[in-house]
Amino acid sequence: MYVEVNIDALVGPTHHFGGLGVGNRASLENQRSVSHPRKAALQGLDKAALVASLGIPQFMLLPPVRPHPQWLSQLGFRGTFAEQCRAARSAEPLAYSATFSSAFMWAANAGTFTPACDACDGRHHLTLANLASSWHRAAESRERLGQLSTLFAATESQPAGKAVLHDALPSIVPLRDEGAANHMRLCDAEGTSAVHIFVYGQADLAVAATQTMARQTLAASQAIARLHGLDPSRTFYLQQHPHAIEAGVFHNDVIATSHANMLLYHEFAFWKAEDELARIGQAYQHFCGRPLQRICIRQQELTLTDAVSSYFFNSQILTPRGASSGPSPGHTLVCAQQCQRMPQVRAMIERLVADERHLITQVRYVNLDESMAGGGGPACLRLRVQLPSELIDQFAPTARWTSDRDSQWRAVIEQYYPEQLEWERLGDPHLIQQYAAAYAAFAAIQ
């Protein structure tokens, strides 16, 4: 049996609102607002603790070091780092923000994963995302490669644990890749047979000229499917609806999601896709031995505007697991509190829970206001991987969420993370020392 593992990324001490997210309305609207790094990190840990309490194996990636002093040097800024920051803040404010970016907190963009049971060579595959659409995130693939290699290293001695970590695709416009935020896996009850759906925003080589640029390309998705050795008869490609992109749907996981045998999506998630969705349903029935449960949310029930504002489709769908009884019937929906605060969205969720199919049996709301202000909901904060159940205990033991580690991480955050952070003061020398102390304290935790 294969078990879903959640790998969350911890928010860094330089968390701020730089307005760097292309097509991301929350990012752009909150540009240069005062941020709260301490609160942001604790909210992320609260969400991870909730997931762990449901019996889901929960792991954490610690934040890569920021700032990036060499970034400003590479862009031609001279002098001390403080002088570079002052010059960049005036001449190239986006470069200034990119130097301190904590966007790595959204781990769903780290890469795309295929479990060994789906790959033709019987090995796990993970391709790091190049994030070529956003200049503040392009360096992340190198950092995450090291971290994720460490996670998988503990399982390499087991045949079922062999993993191939692929470098990011070439960082060019036609191969823009934003990771698992544009990928869905539908599987059988055991998690061993599946079909894959890749969602892209752009099929040709043209460069979008607006802030609603399609951030995933078809060519990138097809390349990942080839690298991972996916069976073409089990692999499908859907194009994002132009209306969705225009409304601020920069990733598929802002407008559609999946879990096990359930595909949950908005009426305007995909472009001219009804025939392809029917083929996906047929393939799922054939390979997984049960019907695909398609739930299409209509525009009259939830507008695109409210879908983007609430990040409903960025909720996590989880199957709670008991210590000995295996999966519990029904799924749990973990939603941002914005969904609860918006009457139309809350009513729609209540109808889903009341559905006679009982696909979703409970809802848990989490406060992720800091992440949401930057354009990331519950699912943005985690990367899903599927592993054989016998490997879970061997997988990255020092990165697994436990109450003891949670306490240690919280102590670092409480001591060293700024309570609030103004954009203009990101490069303050005192704050630079504070950031460094936080990273040193994390490194000291065994």
- Looking at per-residue pLDDT, the higher value among 356 and 327 belongs to 356
- Phi and psi torsions of 22, nearest 5°: -65, 125
Catalytic residues, which ones?
178, 251, 380
pLDDT of 326 > 60? The answer is no
Can you tell me the mean pLDDT for 323-347?
A: 82
Looking at the DSSP bridge assignments, the partners of residue 296 are 265
- Looking at per-residue pLDDT, the higher value among 172 and 139 belongs to 172
- Looking at per-residue pLDDT, the higher value among 287 and 390 belongs to 287
Can you tell me the mean pLDDT for 174-189?
A: 96
Contact between residue 386 and residue 392 where contact means Cβ atoms under 8 Å apart:
no
In the chain, the percentage of residues whose pLDDT exceeds 70 is 96
- Count Cβ atoms below 10 Å from residue 162 Cβ, excluding itself: 15
Can you tell me the mean pLDDT for 392-411?
A: 94
Q: What integer pLDDT is reported at residue 213 of this predicted model?
A: 62
Can you tell me the mean pLDDT for 411-433?
A: 97
Task: Calculate helix-pair angle for 93-100, 81-91, nearest 10 degrees.
Answer: 130
The identity of residue 321, as a single letter, is: R
Q: Which H/E stretch holds residue 142?
A: helix 140-153
Can you tell me the mean pLDDT for 327-335?
A: 80
Q: What is the DSSP string of 113-128?
A: EE-GGGSTTSSEEEEE
pLDDT of 390 > 70? The answer is yes
Can you tell me the mean pLDDT for 61-66?
A: 95
Mean pLDDT for the chain overall = 92
Domains and CATH numbers, the chain: 2-66+101-444 (3.75.10.20)
Work out the pLDDT band at 113, boundaries 50, 70, 90: very high
Can you tell me the mean pLDDT for 348-356?
A: 93
Give buried/exposed letters for 77-98 (b at 16+ CB in 10 A, else e).
Answer: beeebeebbebbbeeebebbbb
Can you tell me the mean pLDDT for 138-161?
A: 83
Q: Which residue in this structure is represented by tokens 């992720």?
A: 368
Strand 2-9: give its sheet, edge to edge. 58-61, 2-9, 382-388
Q: What integer pLDDT is reported at residue 131 of this predicted model?
A: 92
Can you tell me the mean pLDDT for 182-188?
A: 97
Claim: this prediction has a pTM higher than 0.85: yes
Q: Which H/E stretch holds residue 150?
A: helix 140-153
Handedness of CA 422, 11, 311, 19 (dihedral sign): positive
Q: How far apart are CA 382 and CA 61, in angstroms?
A: 10
Q: What integer pLDDT is reported at residue 235 of this predicted model?
A: 98
Least confident of 68-72, 144-148, 213-217: 213-217
Q: What integer pLDDT is reported at residue 203 of this predicted model?
A: 64
Q: What integer pLDDT is reported at residue 30 of this predicted model?
A: 81
Q: How far apart are CA 173 and CA 111, in angstroms?
A: 17
pLDDT of 208 > 60? The answer is no
In the chain, the percentage of residues whose pLDDT exceeds 90 is 78
Which tokens go with 203?
């099929």
Q: What integer pLDDT is reported at residue 156 of this predicted model?
A: 75
pLDDT of 58 > 60? The answer is yes
pLDDT in tens, 254-307: 999 999 999 999 999 999 999 999 999 999 999 999 999 999 999 999 999 999
